[in-house]
Structure 1
Amino acid sequence: MFDSLKERLEGIFSKLRGKGRLTEEDINDALREVRRALLEADVNYKIAKDLVERIKERCLGQEVLSSITPAQQVYAVVYEELCNLMGGKKERLNFASKPPSVFMLVGLQGSGKTTTAVKLALKISDSHKPMVVACDLRRPAAVKQLKVLAEKAGIPFFGPDEAGSGDVLGVAKKALRYADDHLIDVVIFDTAGRLHIDEDLMAELEQMHKTLNPHEVLLVIDAMTGQEGVNVAQMFKEKAGITGVILTKLDGDARGGAALAVKAATGVPVKLVGVGEHLEDLEEFDAARMAQRILGMGDMEGLLEKIQKSSDTKEIERVQKNLQDNKFTLEDLLVQLRQIQKLGPLDKVMDMLPLPGKVKSQVSDIDFRRIKHVEAVILSMTPEERRRPEIIKGSRKRRIAMGSGTNVQMVNQVLRQYEQMKEIFKRFGKNKGKLRGLKLPKGLF
């Protein structure tokens, strides 16, 4: 989402790094560009102006101007102010001391409330027993959509007894009784939305609020709406008393103004963000980590979390043992390829690494389908061939190529690059972990 803003900021700081000492004029020029970058990212003009003023006040202090690394000092100030703009500390969900905890999801039609309700339930299911409740009785098929998604995620569902029922409060009351009887400790209500905020919508939400006395009223905003998302948040805060925001489609191509400015504009924290289409793609919003990614500092903590979630511990331990014994096989390579694919798109993974922009841009030249082709080649081999690739000769190569839908040239490339990787790991073991002077094989992906 923040690619354009990140590129602009990287360009600004690269100019500052080229100067040994910074003058007030240097800082003014740089911050003028920062303000333009924020406005292009769809951040509210007043919020952008106030942010730049705070940065300027700090940067013109003697500590920065007299520093031997002034560019780094400015960089640190911008990072801290971006964190503060987005809320600073991580804001977690509020759960009731005495179950059940009641969460209401509110928002405009099309913001992704129904899908987000199930994503939220799935996210907290490790430590809670959640249930989703269909209270959007106005939109056709909304109840069925929630039910299908809940079944897919293995989450308990509650909806109206009869199709076409419009008694929202009746459904809500029955859901709470059902939760008490079935030891459900978190009840998530998917409420109705509109294409715009109207009196009927707010009246219904107000009645539900009085009936349910929710612990969280979470506004779901489509990040693609940009600055309008901040306006929506302000209206729902006034009318519905929201306690937090969930931004959806943060992995899209929007400019990111809502994510940057919603806390500053409303005082309501962003608590969760949707980062993909899968039901598992909901993350806690961390202002510090978001600021790091915007400034090209990467997100190693987030990457480690991805690796931990996607890793098959037993397989990884087996591969590690083989590496220690200098027995790197094609089966081990297959495990590594599958682990890479579980992390998600490689360009997103690279975005989480603290690498220069030029290095990251090279990822766009990678043909991601090639990983699938390599996997298909290895899967078309017999177990014996994967363990002893030296037996793969002419007729076997033709069979593997036909089975994988590739060609003999591709099979030769996979075998050649496997041998290069095997040699690297062999030398890695001999050098006790030192990879000095070693070059990774090119062309595998």
Structure 2
Amino acid sequence: MAVFSSLADKLQETFKKLKNKGKLTEADVAEAMREVRVALLEADVNFKVVKDFVGKVRERAVGQEVLESLTPGQHVVKIVHEELTSLMGSSQSKIVISPKPPTVIMLVGLQGAGKTTSGGKLANYLKKQGRQPLMVAGDIYRPAAIKQLQVLGEQLQIPVFSLGTDVSPVEIARQAMEKASAQGNDMVIIDTAGRLHINEELMDELKNIKATVHPHEILLVVDSMTGQDAVNVAESFNQELGIDGLILTKLDGDTRGGAALSAKAVTGKPIKFVGMGEKLDALEPFYPERMASRILGMGDVLTLIEKAQVNYDAKKAKEMEEKMLKADFSLEDFLDQMQQFKKMGSVQDLLGMIPGLGGNKKLKDLQVDENEFVKIEAMIQSMTPHERRHPEIINGSRKQRIARGSGSKVQDLNKLLKQFADTKKMIKQFGGSAMMKKGKKGKLPFNLPFM
């Protein structure tokens, strides 16, 4: 499912009508703005935010420069892109790093928003940036909250500071600061307790922690799928406690986008990170311009390249390129490529990041079955190393064994082997070297056999 898919579909359809017109009139712009207004309201964007946004776009879109230009429809899309970017905060808002370590980040929010998991993801993100984070178990009320953080710490090999459930969260936070200084942690992430709703007791506890450790960042964790409710929670926390930014969770499942599009305008505070899945590396910095591009079907090449750089082994990629040039790659190589590609996220989302494919009707109708990857993986892993390197030796009895071992049918295995053989044949026929040279311009930083 693509991010904000229902909003994106409606906006892209509206602007497609404009692009198809040779010349625009003010009536055309007015009609398009009505459709944009309805699409944003249906996406659960704050009413006042919608009114201001549509007003700004309309004012710019009916100017002489736009109406008399050669491509007025594209001009309007450019204006909408700029205003969407501005609405979400214009540019990326980074975490403030203290010149004197440790930098203290306090995570706050209601129960069930995903604070503890987001704390683990944030610690993992910072560790990959070369930082030395310490996670602090400050939620002493929710059953198993401390254990959950400790399990995350073990998985990520990141230390967790805890004093159990009999010490106050304020004292836990204070002692955590001493511990961080003593063992050289330059980042402290405090997981605080949530409540089912905002109350005085919760806010007093958070204010006391804030007064004790003087955090450099107070980040509010909210569930993006709750739309306007998330924004209302953000407004309340900001008024009571004062926040520095937001982490929006479950953005990968949010088809509407109301929280992401309203949060900055309503609270004045930027979205700093977004959760894009359940995996512990599925936390991304939030880039307003890139999100605006994805909503309008323009793709997001920069994020795609960054994902590839993080998840792809440069040495392996180089080796694979050389093998492709000679058409000398094996099923073992393909398995390795596929496993690296899977680390980058869902195929549907990745295809949506490629310009021209984000708004492609055929792509939207195409349902990529991620289970097919699992099936192919199982078949290749059920082969011996020699069979993977020399698939031509796989005869009838070997096929029966591989199919049984992978829980698949012989027909599925035949299809895989045929696709693989056809790919190698095509590269040999046209010349791997010529194909690679032809594809150098705009070549993605990874290879995908069979695609």
**Same-fold call, TM cutoff 0.5:** yes
1:36 maps to 2:38 = yes
> Against the structure 1 CA distance between its residues 432 and 421, is the aligned structure 2 distance closer, same or farther, given a 3 Å change threshold?
closer
Alpha-carbon offset, residue 430 of structure 1: 5.3
**Structure 1: gaps (5+ residues):** 436-442
CA deviation string 1:45-69 (max 9, x = no partner): 1110100000000001111000110
- C-alpha separation between the residues in 1 aligned to 2:391 and 2:103? 57
Could you tell me whether the CA contact under 8 Å between 1:42 and 1:255 is conserved in 2? yes
2-side partners of 1:294 and 1:32: how far apart? 18
The answer to whether the 8 A contact 1:7-1:357 is kept is: no
TM score, norm. by length of structure 1: 0.94
Is 1:157 the equivalent of 2:160?
yes
CA distance in 1: counterparts of 2:111 and 2:407, whole angstroms: 44
1:439 match: none
2:197 maps to 196
Equivalences for residues 22-421 of structure 1 within 5 A: 22-125=24-127, 126-160=129-163, 163-354=164-355, 355=357, 356-364=359-367, 366-421=368-423
Amino acid of the structure 1 residue aligned with 2:285 = E
Q: 1:428 to 1:305 in 2, by over 3 A?
A: farther
Give the Cα separation in 2 of the matches to 1:288 and 1:154: 34
Aligned partners of 1:310 and 1:347: how far apart in 2? 17
SS at match of 1:327: coil
**Contact 1:10 1:295 (8 Å CA) reproduced:** yes
CA contact 1:226–1:254 (8 Å) conserved in 2: no
Name the CA distance, whole Å, in 1 between partners of 2:147 and 2:110. 19
Aligned residues between the structures: 435
Shift of 1:377: 2.3
CA RMSD of aligned residues (A): 1.8
**TM-score between both structures, scaled by the size of structure 2:** 0.92
| CA shift for structure 1 position 100 | 1.2
User: Counterpart of 2:96 in 1: which secondary structure?
Assistant: coil
Identical counterparts, % of pairs: 49
Q: Is the 8 Å Cα contact of residues 131 and 156 (structure 1) preserved in structure 2? A: yes
CA 1:167–1:334 in 2, change beyond 3 Å: closer, same or farther? closer
For 2:209 and 2:331, locate their aligned partners in 1 and report how far apart those are by CA, in whole Å.
58
| Partner SS for 2:196 | coil
Paired residues of 2:325 and 2:433 also in contact (CA < 8 A): no
1: distance between equivalents of 2:225 and 2:433?
Answer: 52
Per the alignment, do residues 296 and 367 of structure 1 end up closer, same or farther by CA in structure 2, a change over 3 Å counting?
same
SS in structure 2 at match of 1:68: coil
Contact preservation (8 Å) 1:300, 1:352: yes
Paired with 1:402 and 1:264, the residues of 2 have a C-alpha distance of 57
Structure 1 counterpart SS, 2:252: coil
Q: AA paired with 1:351? A: G
Quote how far apart the aligned CAs of 1:44 are.
0.7
Distance, in Å, in 2 between the alignment partners of 1:404 and 1:290 is: 39
Partners of 1:368 and 1:110 in 2: how far apart? 28
Give, in whole Å, the separation in 2 of the partners of 1:43 and 1:263.
12
- 1-structure distance, mates of 2:106, 2:156: 19
1:177 Cα deviation after fit: 1.0
**CA displacement 1:100-148 (0-9 Å, x = unmatched):** 1111111111111111111111111132111111111222222222122
Mapped to 2, the partners of 1:33 and 1:132 lie a distance apart of 46
The SS at the match of 1:374 is helix
The aligned amino acid for 2:231 is V
Select between 394-403 and 345-354 the one with higher mean Cα deviation: 394-403
Q: Aligned-pair distance for 1:362?
A: 3.7
**Structure 2: 5+ residue stretches without partners:** 440-448
Tell me, what secondary structure is at the counterpart of 1:133? strand
Cα deviation, residue 297, structure 1: 0.9
Q: Take 1:403 and 1:114, find their aligned partners in 2: how far apart are those partners?
A: 39
| Distance apart, 1:405 and its partner CA | 2.2
1:444 positional shift: 6.5
Q: Distance in 2 between matches of 1:197 and 1:292?
A: 35
Q: 1:17 aligns with which of 8, 16, 19?
A: 19
Letter in 1 for 2:375: H
8 A contact 1:6–1:294 mirrored in 2? yes
